[in-house]
Amino acid sequence: MRFLFLVSLILLASPGPGCATDDNRGTVGISIAQLFDDDQLPSHRGPIVILQAIEGLAAAKAGIRSGDFVIAVDGVPVPGRELSAIVQQIHGPVGATLRLTVVKPDGSQSEIALVRVPFPPHVNPASDPFSYTVPGSWAADLRYHFPLPWTSKLTYHGFEDIFFSPNFRETDSPEYHSFLFFFWLDGKHLLSAEQLQADVLTYFRGIAEERGRNYGFTPDLSKVSATYKEDSLASPTFGSAPAHAFSGQVTIWDTHGKTITLNSEVRISDCETPDHTAFFFAQSLEPRDGDMWKRIDAIRDTFRCKR
């Protein structure tokens, strides 16, 4: 039997419809990847593997470690099932119990009961010169370093942190495909609107190709677009430092093989240093006066160039 990584997700996001509400949802603190089984299952969807057990949360306290396999959730086998359905099972109300059937790398198997706890906020590593805070109900990917895995054409040096709204995956939610990310780049890169458009186009064309590979469709890259204009704010700031502010729209391919057009906002600041440039990108289907943007703005405004 041969397993390959199919798709990964950090399980600090919200549940699907009909599960816990925003006010009482909880987490057990794991990040997972679903494995691709090309020998056995018609769906090719295998077990899930633990990428990370967040220190101090229920899974890590119970002895779950990176590299462990989960073969059943609350007694329901994992192989052959869609990841989204598994995620809906894993999430639930704070204080409720979740049972994971875990297989260790040595082959030993056990059922582990975990009690969901409130989501801790995401904070960036203390070693970073800057700081920010993102609500724990948002999902977080692991930090990506340039060149980014989905495109080598952005020739910057630095890294990206990316976060997804609680109902990012739910097509019937106003939060669908609302997400944000920070860049921390070496050197000064105060981009024009034209250069920003070109870079965002490169970024999302790379994402489209990666999603096509992962979800079995062939994206037409000519349908990916990005348009920005510099905002005429009196004194835009980001990280408590002067900034350039841009607004516009991006058309991208979602994970269902469809194009969607998102409203987008960008802040760029050199943090008053010649050594680095901080970027904030936010995208949402909601119009700029929607509730999602109030939440996004609140996250943006936690960023500080200096601790």
- Residue 7 CA to residue 83 CA, distance in Å, equals 8
- Token pair, residue 202, equals 């490169």
What is the structure's pLDDT at 275?
96
Inside any domain, residue 45: yes
Inside any domain, residue 53: yes
pLDDT at 79 over 50: yes
- Give per-residue pLDDT as tens, 84-138: 788 878 878 899 999 999 999 999 999 999 999 988 899 999 999 999 999 988 8
What is the structure's pLDDT at 88?
77
59 and 196 fall within a common domain: no
Inside any domain, residue 69: yes
Q: Which residues pair with 146 in a beta bridge?
A: none
More confident residue, 288 or 12: 288
Inside any domain, residue 160: yes
pLDDT at 12 over 70: no
Inside any domain, residue 99: yes
pLDDT at 205 over 60: yes
Q: Which helix (H) or strand (E) holds 76?
A: strand 76-77
146 and 269 fall within a common domain: yes
Q: What is the CATH number of the domain that holds 214?
A: 3.40.1000
Q: What is the pTM of this model?
A: 0.76
CA neighbor of 135 nearest in space, from 286, 281, 306, 300? 300
- Give per-residue pLDDT as tens, 134-188: 998 888 888 999 999 999 999 999 999 999 998 898 899 999 999 999 999 999 9
- Residue 22 CA to residue 11 CA, distance in Å, equals 15
158 and 289 fall within a common domain: yes
At position 237, the amino acid (one-letter code) is T
Share of the chain above pLDDT 70, in %: 90
14 and 146 fall within a common domain: no
206 and 273 fall within a common domain: yes
Q: Which helix (H) or strand (E) holds 75?
A: none
53 and 153 fall within a common domain: no
What is the structure's pLDDT at 150?
96
More confident residue, 40 or 251: 251
Inside any domain, residue 307: no
145 and 106 fall within a common domain: no
- Residue 250 CA to residue 265 CA, distance in Å, equals 10
What is the structure's pLDDT at 43?
60
Domain count, the chain: 2
What is the structure's pLDDT at 89?
85
Q: 191 phi and psi, to 5 degrees? A: -75, 150
27 and 172 fall within a common domain: no
77 and 220 fall within a common domain: no
DSSP secondary structure string for all residues of 217-277? ----GGG-EEEEEE---SS-EETTEE-EEEEEEEEEE-TTS-EEEEEEEEEEE-TT-SSEE
pLDDT at 242 over 70: yes
61 and 173 fall within a common domain: no
Inside any domain, residue 306: no
What is the structure's pLDDT at 37?
64
161 and 237 fall within a common domain: yes
What is the structure's pLDDT at 90?
87
Q: For the chain, how are helix, strand and coil distributed in percent, rounded to 5?
A: 15, 40, 45
From 115, 150, 167, the end of a domain falls on 115
Q: What is the mean pLDDT of residues 43-49?
A: 80
Residues 170, 135, 146, 3, Cα dihedral to 10° = -50
Structural domain including 98 reads 3-115
214 and 140 fall within a common domain: yes
Q: What is the CATH number of the domain that holds 94?
A: 2.30.42.10
From 81, 115, 149, the end of a domain falls on 115
From 64, 82, 115, the end of a domain falls on 115
Banded pLDDT at 223 (limits 50, 70, 90)? very high
In a 13 Å sphere around the CA of 257, the CA atoms on its Cβ side amount to 7
